[in-house]
Structure 1
């Protein structure tokens, strides 16, 4: 078992990085996109019911005194909240798609005379209706863009109703209906490889504004490639509710990354609905934004005077971006190899309802892995994510959710236009964004009887033109729609070498061929699935079955685990060992492709999907380098060894407690490190130094063939980078006994800490020898007091799971003497453990 790890995921607030990360996080918190100073997050005091109501009156009617017959039954919840926090990964059911209701009561006290009261939604899925008492005040279609409802008049009307004022004790009842029902005329398609979650799964804010206010600040920061001259153009957008035709005083301050005022403006703007120009600034040699130095300037705009003045703040970064045709990407005049990954809004235990601390933890883990680029798939994401990309220095491709299914009708197409407009306007100021995505896998039919490529091309051209009209300074892109690859500025074909097609050594050749066919090539989505905790002594065996020279794209049916041609996605072992080799090969090759703009591994974190019920963790896409609860897999450290500078070393196999083989057989031990050289010790004996060479596969040459002893083995690696030294060590057992077919199960308690008990199921043959390559399905159950933690979508958090190396663990809350756990596998006797 693991005894010690001395190269863990670095804590963001330890060591030499303390000040840097502290400043980055403070900056991310201080410099928010244009928003109100009178804004309150509405997180507590909510109730929820997972069904529809007969009408809005059911949400607000008074309960009969002493009556137990009030239905439906409402459950207290905290926002953000997702319908599908549990059922998205339930192994035996489809996740819930339908309506759900939320309700609360608010004390509304607008401090501005004649001001407006707004509800600001940072995102809600997928169709939403908002009510003040019984009055519908707004609605929205689309689960990912921000939107606002003005509740001023409805609140005023309700406050005049004395009878209801008494019922609600002076508070205002708010009810919200969310609905994620299937709808072909809504983006994204239900054919998508991710859940269309329901609920108030992003933050909801109560916002007070004065009578004269601006709802949006547009800040366009630009700089020439040499970094000599920077320009900043400012516009503000007034809502339709303000009185127009008058002049409003405006004050602007521009602060550099150190907080020094470097630009000021006093003047007036003519109030008119829509965008109004404010002023321009010119700066000599501005401090530039980059992944290494994500320096941002603060913009403060005040509209009006005195106590009714309205202040907006935002952050901007001066950077010059260029996707050179038939060349790599340039940032600030220099080549930047985009080293990327992807993010879905999904997390263990909460689904889409990630809190700000959870989002921050995830983004920091990405940065610490060495990421400088992220594609936000496949929809506009939280402002919190974009703020962190700005402050951490992560370049962004963000896209609208036109994903799979074909092309719908008028309502469908209007939603796409609206979501493109909202995405660009709402995230316009973020220096991290370099690409607006037009869609994903738009060559995927089946939502409609008609699949017309020319109509898809026409609509894609429309979205492309709209994106450029809204923002001429950034590029457009799509992934995987070859019949439309000439439309966007940047194109990513489907290349899955070593997973859905071909073998991973095909990667460079296939990529070079695709590069020649487009103006600007950027490869997003590559990799493969790995079942966390599953390892292999012979991970590449499946490659012998694969035909080469037939491309590396994903085709219809390739994601299925059944039928079709031989492919690793179906015939491989889904081990961490194989995926580490695949990633290792890709990363070594990317260092020798001078024409490459960059790539993005798919994805960073395992996520739930309705189209993969048969995966080793049901309903999970397991291609992440961390699990759904952010537990790193071994592949996380492969990326670190190529993409980071801070010295690190990681021995492969921290989650591999038992290896196997013949007595005296030499076994490979790999060390993933970014250091110049490393020395390996096995059971106290040195096996010498190896020098790192990125082109020496595997593990950049840091691999040793060593003998292991039956029983416990201690392995230690010491790596050196100049005078700096880092080390890592693990302990594991080596099994030389042969095993036959699994014949029985054992169930053992292995840990009891922090209120959680861990139990491990093990598949053994008739003689009791552990079957270390067994991948049988296991199902855990519990009787008595307690609860299985089986709704996480992880290898250790699912009641139904494939064994990894003949074993699986699960955690539970138990009451001593009153809890019994069982595990079953088809065709084998159940094992039972009383706790």
Structure 2
């Protein structure tokens, strides 16, 4: 068994909220900016920060999005004479150049770490000062990430602020860190020893006699310990200080359950006048931790299974320009779910993320964006090393951080042709870069752990030593989603423990897409249903809990996020989130909460599915019976629908299930559980449309029917509230198709349909399935006037290569065959010589609507006549008109 013991570190608070204005002035510069993409035109627009220019173009039907330069300018606030002035950027993607009054003052490469410039020399002593910032998110082979399953949003998308200091100040030129580093070489329940070190700069022409003071305060503001040192600083020099031996007796230990924080203040004094020249505040957490290859993770000597999620930073309608309050809410939702771990992926994020982790008690892993592939150039390597240094120094003091990571799935799609020589050269380059990043990380911070996250090609990563170089191996596993079956996940974990017995392991990613609009009573792989994804997470969590050697796991992902190149049921989105893009919880979120929280919890899991539809149980019935689930950590719960109890059901894997009889209209659902005399309950109102089993049924009058051809799932159009049901073969008195087969892609990963994006619609799933070779469609509708709407999309296409993120092989689609056909309704032609591909294009939504009158018992019958190829139908709507 390998166990490495680490000491604790401390966290940086937002200096803007705590700094003494008389000592160090920090001004937020988020307002009064002008922005343009084209400086040759007078097209500057007023904007505020955070700002992102890729919001609309990453969601449209056109492939690609703007990757180029964006320009920002504003007038700086009046600055105090005699002070040093520094401009700080919390993040800009991805190359940033700054000019002050036309003078170039700085350049930074990398879109996710902070950076700063000394702008003092460029400022005018009188009059206004203009700052001009060029941000460029163009592809650059020297700057990671090169490719990834997320969008490289452009913009000045985090805070910008101006910091004014005395000419004698804490070092401001240390990778945009706060210049003070705090560690605790010894922590126990009885005692914690604190060390504080950093640098100060004397930028005057005089020798200065200074005092450096470190003070530790507890959570109540009481001074716990203090030390003072004296130093003589020569003109224009940088000098170091190191305070050792600060002791705290019986410290309040930091842990996920009790995230106790101390405040450590470092002050620089004029030794003669005792004037405070500069000061920095940090928060500190006293704790120690370790990882074991046999028994997992420990904090303060106590075993602790790390369970949490990864997080991307973008948000619906904002791209990466997300306000701090929303980012804090993300971390709060992870904590509320019962988690204790956040994988900050795949890049360092806004400072408020780790600040909130410190405050709430979430342990964290942070990584640089070396994703999918690398460039084998010196410039790429140097930028990686620069980013790793920036990440560590900027986040060095956070007690939440326990892991520094630096690669993710770098062998997923290597950029070489099928050449053994090229493959070996690339593999050697990856290994060499990993060794350099590992050595740098160990030197910068010899106490935290290191990790590389690998996809499931065990042998490839093992033979290239990426399983031996880092201290922890992370595996991104999607067994039962992208490949194979769920049970292979358990086998993979056991293989790691068997073949790498001395290496701690974290399941750094796992998940399955859940389009919240798609539901299924018979969930299956790649149907994108919430039900399949819930089953997936139940299996994975239970299997990891069984294995103590698995130190932790991070669900991929906390929330749905933008990935412009994706197609699938919701184009441009990765739907593996436990939350939607605008942070509405899906069923799996409630499953985790039921499995992880300690306080009594009952939640109707289908809360997002509050608009439902289904076919009546019998020809004369007025109800439709469907499954309904409740997530809970109680042993049993009772369910009521419209005041009637459906009985108590024992929880299985934190879920209870009933068959609920829904009536037309509003249905009041109530779930109740009791623990130790305390009642815990949840309610939900479900709007249900009962469809008559027979269209002639007097019990349930027919009004509207929405049907998906070739589908086995239910779909909700969120804009209209219409629920689309799977189609069926024709049944007398009802409806259905005659002839044809369900469309599916040859060698495709899903059992039916396609996940190719459909142009001209936001309801892609309606068009992604079809009945191919259909001969007839009949609806035995009673007499009356109807609106009949037919939906088509040509799904045939050329061979397509799977995108890298899919972790599977090439997907072959059928060779395109010309398709021309006619459609008639009750013997009357309504569409003639319909050639969808020629007239509308492939993978494009086509809608044809017709008024139909039924005068007797003839119903509505559609006949499809092939002229070339096979007729198709993707979806059908029938609505009775008044």
Q: Same fold (TM over 0.5)?
A: yes
**1:192 paired residue number:** 148
Q: 1:370 to 1:243 in 2, by over 3 A?
A: farther
**1:478 paired residue number:** 452
Given that 1:242 and 1:273 are in contact with CA atoms closer than 8 Å, whether structure 2 keeps it comes out as: no
**1:263 paired residue number:** 225
**1:621 paired residue number:** 574
Out of 737, 758, 764, which is 1:802 matched to? 764
1-side partners of 2:389 and 2:194: how far apart?
22
Per-residue CA deviation, residues 62-103 of structure 1 (Å, 9 max, x unaligned), is xxxxxxxxx231111001111213222223241210001001
1:32: Cα distance to partner? 8.8
2-side partners of 1:735 and 1:328: how far apart?
51
Residues 1:460 and 2:447 are matched in the alignment? no
Q: 1:669 to 1:760 in 2, by over 3 A?
A: closer
1:119: Cα distance to partner? 0.5
1:184: Cα distance to partner? 1.2
Q: 1:642 to 1:275 in 2, by over 3 A?
A: farther
Residues 1:96 and 2:66 are matched in the alignment? yes
2-side partners of 1:345 and 1:770: how far apart?
45
**1:229 paired residue number:** 191
Residues 1:207 and 2:160 are matched in the alignment? no
Out of 673, 677, 682, which is 1:723 matched to? 677
Given that 2:706 and 2:722 are in contact with CA atoms closer than 8 Å, whether structure 1 keeps it comes out as: no
1:770: Cα distance to partner? 12
1-side partners of 2:232 and 2:591: how far apart?
56
Q: 1:593 to 1:325 in 2, by over 3 A?
A: closer
2-side partners of 1:831 and 1:467: how far apart?
67
Residues 1:673 and 2:632 are matched in the alignment? yes
Given that 1:33 and 1:314 are in contact with CA atoms closer than 8 Å, whether structure 2 keeps it comes out as: no
Out of 733, 737, 740, which is 2:688 matched to? 733
Given that 1:117 and 1:152 are in contact with CA atoms closer than 8 Å, whether structure 2 keeps it comes out as: yes
1:259: Cα distance to partner? 1.8
1:732: Cα distance to partner? 4.2
**2:400 paired residue number:** 432
2-side partners of 1:115 and 1:362: how far apart?
38
The 5 A counterparts of 1:804-819 are none
The alignment partner of 2:307 has SS state of: strand
2-side partners of 1:239 and 1:102: how far apart?
31
Given that 1:380 and 1:400 are in contact with CA atoms closer than 8 Å, whether structure 2 keeps it comes out as: yes
**1:517 paired residue number:** 499
Whose strand fraction is larger, Structure 1's or Structure 2's? 2
Q: 1:626 to 1:823 in 2, by over 3 A?
A: farther
1:441: Cα distance to partner? 1.1
1:591: Cα distance to partner? 3.0
**1:181 paired residue number:** 138
**Unaligned 5+ runs, structure 1:** 1-23, 55-70, 161-169, 543-567, 744-749, 752-756, 777-794, 808-821
The alignment partner of 2:365 has SS state of: strand
Residues 1:83 and 2:53 are matched in the alignment? yes
Given that 1:223 and 1:319 are in contact with CA atoms closer than 8 Å, whether structure 2 keeps it comes out as: no
The alignment partner of 2:164 has SS state of: strand
Out of 590, 593, 596, which is 1:640 matched to? 593
1-side partners of 2:330 and 2:112: how far apart?
19
1:611: Cα distance to partner? 2.7
Residues 1:301 and 2:254 are matched in the alignment? no
Residues 1:654 and 2:654 are matched in the alignment? no
2-side partners of 1:86 and 1:35: how far apart?
44
Residues 1:469 and 2:443 are matched in the alignment? yes
Given that 1:770 and 1:806 are in contact with CA atoms closer than 8 Å, whether structure 2 keeps it comes out as: no
**2:810 paired residue number:** none
1:532: Cα distance to partner? 1.4
1-side partners of 2:429 and 2:239: how far apart?
32
Given that 1:244 and 1:273 are in contact with CA atoms closer than 8 Å, whether structure 2 keeps it comes out as: no
**2:815 paired residue number:** none
Given that 1:493 and 1:514 are in contact with CA atoms closer than 8 Å, whether structure 2 keeps it comes out as: no
| TM-score, normalization by structure 1 | 0.77
Q: 1:799 to 1:230 in 2, by over 3 A?
A: farther
Per-residue CA deviation, residues 437-496 of structure 1 (Å, 9 max, x unaligned), is 021112134446755212211221111111011111100001004431110000012321
2-side partners of 1:28 and 1:529: how far apart?
40
2-side partners of 1:295 and 1:184: how far apart?
44
The alignment partner of 1:213 has SS state of: strand
Given that 1:86 and 1:350 are in contact with CA atoms closer than 8 Å, whether structure 2 keeps it comes out as: no
Residues 1:373 and 2:326 are matched in the alignment? no
**1:791 paired residue number:** none
2-side partners of 1:274 and 1:524: how far apart?
41
The answer to which structure, 1 or 2, has the higher relative contact order (CA under 8 A, 6+ apart) is: 1
The number of aligned residues is 695
**2:547 paired residue number:** 593
| TM-score, normalization by structure 2 | 0.73
The alignment partner of 1:171 has SS state of: coil
**2:485 paired residue number:** 503
Per-residue CA deviation, residues 547-566 of structure 1 (Å, 9 max, x unaligned), is xxxxxxxxxxxxxxxxxxxx
**Unaligned 5+ runs, structure 2:** 1-10, 173-177, 455-460, 619-623, 694-704, 710-715, 744-756, 770-788, 793-844, 852-878
1:706: Cα distance to partner? 4.8
Given that 1:534 and 1:804 are in contact with CA atoms closer than 8 Å, whether structure 2 keeps it comes out as: no
Q: 1:636 to 1:828 in 2, by over 3 A?
A: same
2-side partners of 1:151 and 1:689: how far apart?
69
Given that 1:234 and 1:280 are in contact with CA atoms closer than 8 Å, whether structure 2 keeps it comes out as: no
Residues 1:43 and 2:25 are matched in the alignment? no
2-side partners of 1:761 and 1:192: how far apart?
35
1:707: Cα distance to partner? 4.9
The alignment partner of 1:417 has SS state of: helix
Per-residue CA deviation, residues 280-311 of structure 1 (Å, 9 max, x unaligned), is 31222211111111111100111123556101
Given that 2:168 and 2:201 are in contact with CA atoms closer than 8 Å, whether structure 1 keeps it comes out as: no
2-side partners of 1:676 and 1:490: how far apart?
36
Given that 2:199 and 2:241 are in contact with CA atoms closer than 8 Å, whether structure 1 keeps it comes out as: yes
The alignment partner of 1:315 has SS state of: strand
Per-residue CA deviation, residues 525-559 of structure 1 (Å, 9 max, x unaligned), is 101111112111111xx3xxxxxxxxxxxxxxxxx
2-side partners of 1:27 and 1:256: how far apart?
18
Out of 578, 581, 584, which is 2:535 matched to? 581
Q: 1:831 to 1:325 in 2, by over 3 A?
A: farther
**1:132 paired residue number:** 100
Q: 1:26 to 1:490 in 2, by over 3 A?
A: closer
Tell me which structure has the larger Cα radius of gyration: 2
Per-residue CA deviation, residues 246-271 of structure 1 (Å, 9 max, x unaligned), is 54211221001222110111222455
Given that 1:603 and 1:625 are in contact with CA atoms closer than 8 Å, whether structure 2 keeps it comes out as: yes
> Over aligned residues, Cα RMSD in angstroms?
3.6
2-side partners of 1:274 and 1:89: how far apart?
52
2-side partners of 1:619 and 1:143: how far apart?
21
Out of 512, 517, 521, which is 1:533 matched to? 517
2-side partners of 1:524 and 1:34: how far apart?
42
The alignment partner of 2:640 has SS state of: strand
Residues 1:105 and 2:59 are matched in the alignment? no
2-side partners of 1:589 and 1:634: how far apart?
19
1:25: Cα distance to partner? 14
